[in-house]
Structure 1
């Protein structure tokens, strides 16, 4: 009796050690103690040892341990515990095929899977996209009576959601709804999952039907429906639903804030923001994003500093938004202050923040600081390289743009279509026609990137800037896209440089066919007529623009120099 009590106490001690085990070295030591003790006769303890190994991601170690422990036990129940631990481990860590192989082995050994086996078998089928085997497992679940288990129901629902997504009839949850309706036990989490899936498909009516049938609701249920109204972009109904919510959290308030911002009602958004009982960084970011999206860059900057004064820790999205606002304002002083005082050493920059700094410095005409940030960044994604290439080009440092492009190729970086947009922009602004042609031709042949109409636009702009209008016209005629306003605008720019009124008039006719209200083309044509002393024609072009109520947007630029810093 005393020996049994002692063994039980040791069992509990080892279980406590395994619970606290956080490294493979500790696990290995615990295994050694178990092997040299009599505690291997406790199946639950050995299965937990196996489980901890899988939780630490050491599936190779667990796979070697599994047959050793399994050989010590001959009864079915202990072996099921061991198989469950391994299947669970493979379902979390992969390879998922191994989980299904072990499940098959269980069946061949006439070991009965249970409610702790099936969730991970179904999860593995979902990961693998093996819908045939998953449906087979579902039949076994029904035969065994495990379809009433909530732990099995959730992975089953996820499985059939993936089945539906793989079908051609996208937007349907017919099978998923049937499975849900047939569940003997529907937890609140399952109801919320179904509503969330309908919302993600944009099926607000089906989500509302389920919502009305729910025996109970929590804040997640209400928030899911609120997100559906926000997604539907019906501000009136969103506000009505928000007001009738019996429970709200910071997520609810932030979603309502987003709805106002999306609708362009920044005054209402700011009023709601100021009334919020609680705000988190996402709430601040939503309001910042609203100001940025609608061009109120000064308010975005002011809100950022209010956020800072209230001690709210910004995240990378916050910094990126604030720096973008500074870039749009040409406010180098503020952007530099944020960099030096809040972001700090460039070596620690994440790619998204570093890229925003590069854009800010570049747009504020401090290309040297932009390049210093680029050089100091340890982690740079392809978008960061693209931005730096284009920034050099915009500041006339064409050779530096091409050097960066060549270094990307040399370092084996994965170039994308925006990379070629940036380098073609550089060639266009540097007058490097031959180089531009070479780079354009190697896009698809050398890198497998099919040119988009924007790439053709860059090449046409490059040709037009160098007076090669006839070649540009030929390219427009032969390219596999219908020309857009960008392409015709590039051609018109070339017409202005060469003062070729004939081609300009033909181009204006093509622009009119597009039905766009682009006032700049008429102003350009009018100026060309005036340059050629054809004042009557210049007046007609202006008059036509006025008759069609087309206005040319007034351009402006400003840079606040950080001289005090």
Structure 2
């Protein structure tokens, strides 16, 4: 495991940098620190990095930077606040001579949700090497990092420390272990931790149930949900919404139905979040009648609710109904987002509505200032390909701002085969091979297209290329569900 890259900034550099704030900073964000009643109190009142840097500079000049309590408040703002700066927090942390438990916890918590969660694990390693003892608040943050990184080895190593420090019955720590193992698809380890805890709260029950549902173990999820109810534990709205979201996959419809029945029996107020979770669950499982029933009964809906219903209709072959619902969304003055247009363009693909698809794609930028992303371009390429507009689809890919991937080129290649357009197919194959030189599948597709048009010399040449590159077609296989 590589050592974390820490940046040590000389004291003189910090003073020079912090005592001369950028001219672009608003003077209104300054505040007086000439006679502070408490440095930590002022740190808690900071609302911007400009203010915090002034306070930091004052602490350095007045030699009070080694007051760990006040410094920890600075660190907390930098690392955890929406207005903070994680890179500045790293510099501040590494300039601290003897970081305490709170400081380490703060940085581990921040890094757990950062781009590379395993940096939190490296901080924990440093923490132990420096002789700083972890506490019950350290491990939930550390386990969150392991969950975000989907590192089962990390979970197991942290689990050993949890047992070593006697925290294996601490509920928030246990919940972190259950969640970490579930995210890493180690359900047996998660269940063992779950079963060994003598008393469980609602969050731990939900983590284990969601873990089963998210890993396609719907039977176990249903049994555990019934067991929770048998223990007299009633889930609240937040937990029910979480479980319903986990049920939004094939095979979990019966769990969702059981939850809705429970909600009706208890007279639970659905609200926007819970109602949307129900719509999403039913729509994803193809129960469009029930999804629409819940959708229509909701007095309040947000754009996520509309997206769930439109997407459900689109992917299950009700393209016209999806587009009609989108028109109703606009009439209700609901502002669509990028996900909405993925659903709408998918509906156009399934329905073969080429003109409508072009209109909606243009409307994204012109009417709603939404920049199309790869998924939107993918839908349009699919739609144009189905409509036989291969040249337009190819030009769309070449003109888009995003770098095309193998998938989007592959969509066009599939359309070329259906239309029998070898000229475009040859250019597409070149693009795919430039991205993935070992992609033998495109050779096979092109070879079959040559064979279908009787171009046997080209078939022979292409097979020589495949043989020279030690490429061969992967034998096909089928899976059969025995209904068990």
User: Could you tell me the TM-score, scaled by structure 2's length?
Assistant: 0.72
Asked if the contact 1:350–1:379 (Cα under 8 Å) also holds between the matched residues in 2, the reply is yes
Post-superposition offset of 1:132: 4.5
In the alignment, what sits opposite 1:192?
A: 102
SS state at 1:414 partner: coil
Aligned-residue offset at 1:137: 5.9
Determine the structure 1 residue equivalent to 2:204: 283
| 2:367 maps to 1:450 | no
1:247 counterpart residue number = 167
Equivalent residues, number: 443
- Give how far 1:225 is off: 5.4
**Which residue is 1:130 aligned to?**
51
Q: Do 1:347 and 1:378's aligned partners in 2 also have CA atoms closer than 8 Å?
A: no
CA distance in 2, matches of 1:100, 1:389: 49
> Aligned with 2:46: secondary structure?
helix
Match of 1:478 in 2: 399
Structure-2 change in CA distance of 1:557 and 1:417 (3 Å):
farther
- Is 1:415 the counterpart of 2:333? The answer is no
* Residues 100, 121 of structure 1: 8 Å contact kept: no
* Cα pair distance change 1:420/1:366, threshold 3 Å: same
5+ residue gaps, structure 1: 1-96, 183-189, 561-565
Contact 1:443 1:451 in 2 (8 A): yes
Task: Find the aligned partners of 1:519 and 1:377 in 2 and give their Cα distance.
Answer: 51
SS, match of residue 260 in structure 1: helix
1:270-290 CA distance string (max 9 Å, x none): 222222233223323333343
Q: Please give the alpha-carbon distance, in whole angstroms, between the structure 2 residues aligned to 1:171 and 1:553.
A: 54
Residue aligned with 2:336, SS: coil
In structure 1, the partner of 2:257 is: 336
Equivalent pair of 2:48/2:84 in contact (CA under 8 Å): no
C-alpha contact (below 8 Å) 2:30/2:50 kept by paired residues? no
Instruction: Work out whether 1:173 is the aligned partner of 2:90.
Output: yes
1:444-484 deviations in Å (ceiling 9; x for gaps) = 22222111121111111111222222322232333333432
- Could you give the per-residue CA deviations for residues 483-510 of structure 1, whole angstroms, max 9, x where no partner exists? 3243234324433543446655654554
Partner of 2:21: none
Out of 263, 274, 277, which is 1:356 matched to? 277
**TM-fit CA distance, 1:529:** 8.3
Structure 2: runs of 5 or more not aligned? 1-26, 112-118
Trace 1:110-129 onto structure 2 (pairs within 5 A).
114-115=37-38, 118-127=39-48, 129=50
1:373 aligns with 2:294: yes
Indicate the structure (1 or 2) with the bigger Cα radius of gyration. Answer: 1
SS in 2 for 1:329: coil
CA contact 1:301–1:326 (8 Å) conserved in 2: no
- Aligned partners of 2:148 and 2:251: how far apart in 1? 34
The C-alpha deviation readout for 1:112-133, integer Å capped at 9, x for no partner, is 7534xx5443322245742344
> Relative to structure 1, is the Cα distance of residues 389 and 166 closer, same or farther in structure 2, using a 3 angstrom cutoff?
same
C-alpha contact (below 8 Å) 1:519/1:551 kept by paired residues: no
On the 8 A contact 1:389/1:404 being kept in 2, the answer is yes
Specify the alignment match of 2:73 in structure 1: 155
Q: Give, in angstroms, the shift of residue 180 of structure 1.
A: 6.7
State the alpha-carbon separation in 2 of the partners of residues 378 and 434 from structure 1: 34
Which string of whole-angstrom CA distances, capped at 9 and with x for unpartnered residues, describes residues 138-164 of structure 1?
479x59x898695x5653443565799
Are 1:490 and 2:411 counterparts? yes
| Larger helix fraction of residues | 1
Matched, 1:441 2:441: no
Shift of residue 313 of structure 1?
3.0
- What CA distance in whole angstroms lies between the structure 1 residues aligned with 2:277 and 2:438? 32
Answer whether contact 1:382 1:413 (CA < 8 A) is retained: yes
The corresponding residue for 1:398 is: 319
- Output one character per residue of 1:178-208: Cα deviation in whole Å (capped at 9) or x when no partner: 45749xxxxxxx6224333145332544444
Report the Cα distance in structure 2 between the residues aligned to 1:353 and 1:519, rounded to whole angstroms. Answer: 47
Question: Is contact 1:131–1:163 with CA below 8 Å preserved after alignment?
Answer: no
In structure 2, what is the equivalent of residue 81 of structure 1?
Answer: none
Q: CA RMSD in A?
A: 4.8
User: Structure 1 length normalisation: TM-score?
Assistant: 0.63
CA distance 1:207–1:217, shift in 2 (3 Å):
closer
Question: Judging changes above 3 Å, is the alpha-carbon distance between structure 1 residues 287 and 161 closer, same or farther for their aligned structure 2 residues?
Answer: closer
